[in-house]
Structure formats: structure tokens, C-alpha cells
Amino acid sequence: MTDKQLTIKINGKDIACEKEDTILEVARKAGIRIPTLCYDERLEAYGGCRLCIVEVKGVNRPLPSCTTPVTSNMEISTESSAITRIRRNLISLILSNHPNDCMRCEQTGACDLQDLAYEYRVDGKRFEGEMWNLPIREDNPFITYEPNKCILCGRCTRICNEVVMAGTIELVGRGFNTMPDTAFRKPRSLANCEFCGQCVSTCPTGALTDRKGRGRGRSYEMKKVKTTCSYCGTGCNFFLNVKNNKVVKVTSDYDAPVNKGNLCIKGRYGYDFIHSAERIKTPLIRRGGSFHEATWDEALELIAAKFKELIDKHGPEKSGGFSSSRCTNEENYLLSKWVRCAIGSNNVDNCARV
């Protein structure tokens, strides 16, 4: 054990951890589940929902595990009758003004609040109170906002400010009328929003959803196919949500080594080309001023003949290859090898160089 490590005890189990870790981080690394609603590992710990409370020996009150750093020989209990009672009360309070329309909600089956209400057997009737009655906002092409389903966890505003650094949305209003929104409650546009969908990816309820995928299927009906974005050379991973052999929407892969679930507007919403009727499915060769379909052999033979003609006329040093970072490393290597070995030129470049 190094100077930066220490040992704590969670639910009677000794666990080695780092001094900088919080109780929640240590528990998750050890495979011990602690429920949360306002926590996202991409964000600074907030401690707002209080569902992650735990009991610490020697402390006479429960502590939020997401913001409490570990100390040497700390003894922690993540479950008890008192903790369960507090969590049930917290969920009941959250549901006190939450619409009970899970059967029609877009996020059913993938809603953290729904899962916790089921787990703790909370029906939302204990603290019935005034309900929001605000209209659904669909004033942009990508994001649907249902403010009645917001639980004010702050995850959308924090990811917009901490990760995207766009500052598009913030908690506005006071008291019961507080909600995340744009400045002066203006519609989202390219002037005030990047439409990266980061707020959608972190929302734990159905308050923020992808408009393009609404009504096209439940999450459990879709097959998730992990893939790599082809729009640039960064290499972001995400999941294509496929139903009936059609891509319905894109969701984040939080374990992706490059982007950790973060995406831009192209990666999250730029998938329409997949099923476009205008996609080129076979090689095209120009004959008589127009394009005609050809086989791969015909196309490759024509390309080889044209290259040979140019090289014979101007020399290999006048030829070169320009590759794209949208391709794989292997494909870029093959282009480089072909230019250097087959053509005999060192004129190789890549779009990522600039």
C-alpha cells in the first residue's frame, strides 16, 4: 500500500482505496451499489438528491456518499432500516409533483426515477401536492423538453457548463417555479445551443429526450450496437439503437475510453445518412457526361489505368495520396504503403495534420 492509499470498511468488508476518492467512488469500484439521481461520473459531485446517503460509524447523521471523502479506517454502512426509510421519503417527495404517466412516457424502461420508485415501493401518493402544468417544448429539431417531469437534479445544467462549457441552460426561477431553461426562456437555436445532446444523455427521467427517436420504440425493444463515429478522427464510441433493422437513435457509451459518453451534434444526431435513399451502393463510372453503375473490378481497373497513365506522363513524384482520419489507422497505413511502394512517391498527407 502506498502513501496515497488507505483502507476503509464498507458493509463489513475491508477495501483499499485512494485518499482522494469519495465513499461513492470507492463503493462503485468495489461493486457495491448506492442509489443516486443527481450523480454523473462526468460531473463534479453535487450532493443534491441525497439518495446516496450512508451511515458512518462515529457520525450521528447520514452523509451523502458522493461528496464525502474517505478517511483511514472509516466504517460505512450503505443499507439500514433508517437509510431505507429516508430514501423512501426522498423518492416520495420527488414524486409529489411528478406526473404519473409512466405508461406513455418516452423514457419508460430507462428511467432512473422509475427504477428507484419500483425498488423502494413508492407510489407517489404519500405527499400529494400542487402539480406543474407546463406545455411540452419542441421548439428545436433535436431535443424535446417536458418540464413537468424535471426533478431539478441539475445534471443537465452542470454538464452544459462543466463539460460542454456552452452555458446554454441554467436553473431559472425561484421556489416551486424553478426549472432548467435558457436565458429569458428563449427557444434553443444554433445561436444559444450546440445541440450536442449532452443534457439528454445525463437526464435521469423523461424530462429531456431525443426528438428524432420519440415514439419509435422502448429501450428494451432495441438492440444496442457499439460503433465508432466516422465524422472525425477523434474515435468517439456510442451505441446505435436498432429496431427492425433501422437506427432509431444514438445513446452514449459511458465506458468509451476516448469520449466517456460525451458526443457532439454530429455523433449524436447525424445518423440520417445511414438509411438515405441517396446513398451510393455501387461504384459509378462517368461515361458520356453521366454516371453509370459498375462493378468493383471495373472501377478498380479504371482507377489503376488512370494512375498509370498519369505516372507515365508526369512521373511518380507528381503523384501522391491524401488520407482521411475518418478511416481506420489500418486503412491510412495501406494508403501510405501503396503510395510509397506502388507509385514510388513520398507525397503522403492526412487531414488531421492541420
User: What is the 3-class SS of 154-197, one letter each residue?
Assistant: CHHHHHHHHCCCCCCEEEECCHHHCEEEEHHHCCCCCCCCCCCC
pLDDT in tens, 275-334: 999 989 899 999 988 999 999 999 999 999 999 999 999 999 999 999 988 788 899 999
Domains of the chain by start residue, with CATH: 5-79 (3.10.20.740), 97-275 (3.30.70.20), 284-353 (no CATH)
For residue 78, the model assigns a pLDDT of: 97
In the numeric block, the cell 455523433 is attached to 267
pLDDT at residue 194 in the model: 95
- Over its C-alpha atoms, the chain yields an Rg (Å, rounded) of 27
- For all residues of the chain together, what is the average pLDDT? 93
Helix (H, G, I), strand (E, B) or coil at 334: helix
**Residue-wise pLDDT tens digits, 212-234:** 999 999 999 999 999 999 888 88
End-to-end CA distance of the chain: 45
Q: Which residues neighbour 285 within 8 Å (Cβ) at sequence distance 6 or greater?
A: 291, 292, 294, 298, 299, 302
The three-class DSSP label of residue 145 is strand
Q: Are 169 and 181 in contact (CB under 8 A)?
A: yes
CA pair distance 91, 35, nearest whole angstrom: 11
For residue 125, the one-letter residue type is K
Determine the pLDDT at residue 234.
87
Distance CA 111, CA 43 (A): 19
H helices of the chain, where? 23-29, 81-95, 112-119, 155-162, 198-202, 265-269, 296-314, 329-337
pLDDT of residue 1: 56
Cα separation of 32 and 34, whole Å? 7
CA nearest neighbour of 202 among 27, 325, 93, 43: 43
pLDDT score, position 130: 85
Residue 35 is predicted with a pLDDT of: 97
Query: What integer pLDDT is reported at residue 354 of this predicted model?
Result: 61
Q: What is the pLDDT of residue 233?
A: 81
Residues in the chain with pLDDT values less than 50: none
